[in-house]
C-alpha cells in the first residue's frame, strides 16, 4: 500500500521575530493538506526575556550554554509564550493545532549531551521519537506543533536544536508515512554565489552535494544544515526543501530541493 504523505515544516527566528510575518505564515500553513507537523525555533524573544531578567547568556564556540536559569527561560519562552501563541493562532485559522514538547506524552526522548571539551549544560541529543503517539494525533486530524524542548524521561527537560527535532521526527515517521521536510530560513534556497540571492541551486542530490562541498560552495553555517538534511534523506525521509516562508505551498517560487538521487 502506498504511504500517505506527511509534511514537516520547520520555522526559525526569521519567521517568529516579526508578528506580521508569523501571522501570514501561520495562515498559509493552516491551508496545507493534513497530515502535517510544525516545528519552531526560538527567535530573539528568549534573549530579550533573559536580558529583562538580568541573566547573561554564556556562549562557547558561538553556541549558547544552557545553565539552569537559561533552561528556565527557554522553557518559558519556547514551550509557553511562543508555542501557545502559535497554537492559538493556528486554531483561529481552523487548523487543529496541539503544542508539544518532547515530554508531552513522551514523544521525544533525549539525553543530556556528554561533556567532552565543552559542557553545554542542559542540552539534549535525541535518542528516539514515539511515532505511534504522533500517528495517533495525526489520525485524529490534530496538527502537532513542536518547540525546541525535549526530556530525558527522568524528569529533566532539555534544550534541543529545532532543525534536529524536525529531522528526527521525519526520520521516525518515515516507516509510517512518505515524509517531506521543509526548512524555512532567511534565503530562498542554497545559493551558488553567496553575494547573489538569485543564484538559487534548485536541485541538489547526494553526488552534487559532495561536489559543492569540495568546491567550497557549501560552507560555514550551510554545511551542518545540509549534513542534517542528507542524514534525514539517508534515513528514510523522502524529500527535503530549503527556502523562504513561501516555499511551503507555492508552485511558482524558487527553492532548493534535496534528494539522494
Which residues are at the interface with its own copies (CB under 8 A)?
49, 52-54, 72, 75-81, 83-85, 87-89, 91-92, 96-101, 103-106, 136, 140, 142, 149, 151, 153-157
Report the C-alpha gap between 234 and 174 in whole angstroms. Answer: 11
Question: Is 113 labelled as part of a ligand binding site?
Answer: no
Cell numbers placing 100 = 508539544
Question: Is 43 labelled as part of a ligand binding site?
Answer: yes
Report the C-alpha gap between 150 and 134 in whole angstroms. Answer: 15
| Closer CB to its own copies, 99 or 189, in the complex | 99
Q: How far is the CB of 141 from its own copies (least distance, A)?
A: 9
| Closer CB to its own copies, 3 or 153, in the complex | 153
Backbone angles phi, psi at 70, to 5 degrees: -65, -40
Q: How far is the CB of 98 from its own copies (least distance, A)?
A: 4
| Closer CB to its own copies, 72 or 178, in the complex | 72
Q: How far is the CB of 236 from its own copies (least distance, A)?
A: 25
Report the C-alpha gap between 230 and 167 in whole angstroms. Answer: 10
Do 173 and 6 form a contact (C-beta atoms < 8 A)?
yes
Q: How far is the CB of 186 from its own copies (least distance, A)?
A: 25
198: number of Cβ within 10 Å: 9
Which are the contacts of 154, defined by CB distance < 8 A and separation ≥ 6? none
| Closer CB to its own copies, 94 or 251, in the complex | 94
CA angle, 238 then 95 then 40, to 5°: 55
Question: Is 102 labelled as part of a ligand binding site?
Answer: no
**Of 145, 131, 109, 132, whose CA–CA distance to 36 is shortest?**
145
Question: Is 42 labelled as part of a ligand binding site?
Answer: yes
Q: How far is the CB of 81 from its own copies (least distance, A)?
A: 5
Report the C-alpha gap between 11 and 162 in whole angstroms. Answer: 9
Report the C-alpha gap between 134 and 142 in whole angstroms. Answer: 9
| Closer CB to its own copies, 138 or 237, in the complex | 138
Query: Residues comprising the binding site for substrate?
Result: 42-43, 64, 159
Amino acid at each position: 500500500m502506498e504511504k500517505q504523505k506527511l509534511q514537516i515544516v520547520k520555522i526559525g527566528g526569521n519567521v517568529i521575530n516579526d508578528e506580521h510575518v508569523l501571522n501570514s505564515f501561520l495562515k498559509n500553513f493552516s491551508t496545507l493538506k493534513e497530515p502535517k507537523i510544525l516545528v519552531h525555533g526560538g527567535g530573539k524573544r528568549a534573549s530579550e526575556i533573559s536580558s529583562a531578567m538580568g541573566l547573561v547568556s554564556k556562549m562557547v564556540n558561538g553556541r549558547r550554554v544552557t545553565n539552569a536559569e537559561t533552561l528556565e527561560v527557554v522553557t518559558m519562552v519556547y514551550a509557553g509564550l511562543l508555542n501557545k501563541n502559535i497554537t492559538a493562532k493556528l486554531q483561529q485559522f481552523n487548523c487543529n493545532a496541539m503544542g508539544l514538547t518532547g515530554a508531552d506524552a513522551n514523544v521525544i526522548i533525549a539525553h543530556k549531551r556528554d561533556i567532552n571539551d565543552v559542557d553545554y549544560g542542559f542540552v539534549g541529543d535525541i535518542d528516539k521519537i514515539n511515532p505511534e503517539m504522533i500517528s495517533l494525533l495525526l489520525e485524529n486530524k490534530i496538527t502537532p506543533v513542536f518547540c525546541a524542548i525535549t526530556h530525558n524521561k527522568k524528569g529533566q527537560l532539555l534544550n534541543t536544536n529545532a532543525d534536529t527535532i524536525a529531522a528526527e521526527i521525519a526520520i521516525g515517521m518515515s516507516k509510517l508515512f512518505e515524509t517531506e521536510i521543509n526548512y524555512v530560513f532567511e534565503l530562498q534556497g542554497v545559493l551558488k554565489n553567496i553575494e547573489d540571492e538569485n543564484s538559487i541551486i534548485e536541485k541538489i542530490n547526494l553526488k552534487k552535494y559532495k561536489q559543492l562541498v569540495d568546491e567550497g560552495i557549501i560552507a560555514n553555517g550551510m554545511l551542518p544544515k545540509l549534513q542534517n538534511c542528507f542524514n534525514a534523506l539517508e534515513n528514510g525521509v523522502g524529500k527535503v526543501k530549503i527556502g523562504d516562508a513561501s516555499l511551503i505551498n507555492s508552485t511558482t517560487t524558487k527553492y532548493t530541493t534535496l534528494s539522494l538521487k
